[in-house]
Amino acid sequence: MLSDARSTPSPNSGYSMAAAAGSLGIQLIKPGVYKLGYPKNELKPGMIKKAIKLTIITITLFLFILIIILIFTFLFFH
């Protein structure tokens, strides 16, 4: 993932795109610019549902961690 992420022109978006490609087992290609991931799975319409599910899980995990940090901060530093 790290080597793929650095191949994009954007210093930030490459990491999330490479992580998503790796998690889904697909390859994201922008001809002449980058190739992220390895094509383990065939890219078909059903992958969109998997990508949405991955996004929901990621956002939920982020919010859970954020809430824990906020609670901890409020309880011990307020």
CA-CA distance, 49 to 24, in Å (whole number)?
11
Q: What is the pTM of this model?
A: 0.75
In order along its 78 residues, the chain shows pLDDT tens digits of: 567 777 788 777 888 888 899 899 999 889 998 888 888 988 889 899 999 999 999 999 999 999 999 999 999 987
Residues 34 and 49 in one domain: no
Q: Which residue has the tokens 């290609």?
A: 29
In 1-78, which ranges are continuous DSSP H helix?
A: 2-5, 13-24, 46-77
Question: Among all chains, which residue has been given the structure tokens 């889904």?
Answer: 24
Query: 77: domain range?
Result: 44-78
Question: Looking at the structure, do residues 2 and 36 belong to the same domain, yes or no?
Answer: yes
Same domain, 49 and 65: yes
pLDDT at 73: 95
Q: Rounded to whole angstroms, how far apart are CA atoms 3 and 64?
A: 29
